[in-house]
Amino acid sequence: MVKVRNLGIAGGAIVLLLPFLLFPNSYTGVSLSNSYTDNLYFIGAIKKGGNTTNVSPFFSYSGFLDFDYSGNVSVIDFDEEDIFFGNRAGIQKIFNLPGLGNRNYFYLNGYNFSTLNYRNYGLNEIYGGDSISLYIGNVLLSTGIQIGYMDFSSDSIEDYVKPEVKTYLSIPMPYFYFIPGVDAGLMFYENERLPYCNLSLSLNFPLTGDFTIYVSGNYFWMSEPENNYLLPDSLLLDPFFEEEGIKRNININLSINKSFIKYKSYMSLYLNLFEKDFFEIGDLLRNDSGISVGLQYTKIIDNNISFFVSFSSELNNSNIENLDYTKNNIGGGIRLIF
**For residue 172, what pLDDT is reported?**
95
The residues pairing with 251 across neighbouring beta strands, listed in sequence order, are 218, 274
Domains and CATH numbers, the chain: 88-108+120-147+157-337 (2.40.160.10)
CB 253 within 8 A of CB 215: yes
Residue 220 vs residues 6, 129, 258: alpha-carbon distances, Å: 17, 21, 30
Phi, psi of 121 (to 5 degrees): -95, 5
Sign of CA dihedral 200, 126, 230, 224: positive
DSSP states along 87-139: EEEEEEEEEEPSSTT-EEEEEEEEEEEEESS-GGG-EEEEEEEEEEEEEETTE
- DSSP-derived letter for residue 63 is S
Of all residues in the chain, what percent are helix, strand and coil, respectively (each to 5)?
5, 65, 30
| pLDDT tens by residue, the chain, 338 residues | 445 554 443 333 333 444 444 445 788 999 999 999 999 988 887 789 999 999 999 999 998 999 999 999 999 999 988 999 999 999 999 999 999 999 999 999 999 999 988 888 999 999 999 999 999 999 999 999 999 999 999 888 999 999 999 999 999 999 899 999 999 999 999 999 999 999 999 999 987 878 999 999 999 999 999 989 999 888 888 888 989 999 999 999 999 999 998 899 999 999 999 999 999 988 889 999 999 999 999 999 998 999 999 999 999 999 998 899 999 999 999 999 98
What is the distance between the alpha carbons of residues 108 and 128, in angstroms, rounded to a whole number? 4
The residues pairing with 194 across neighbouring beta strands, listed in sequence order, are 187
CB 276 within 8 A of CB 249: yes
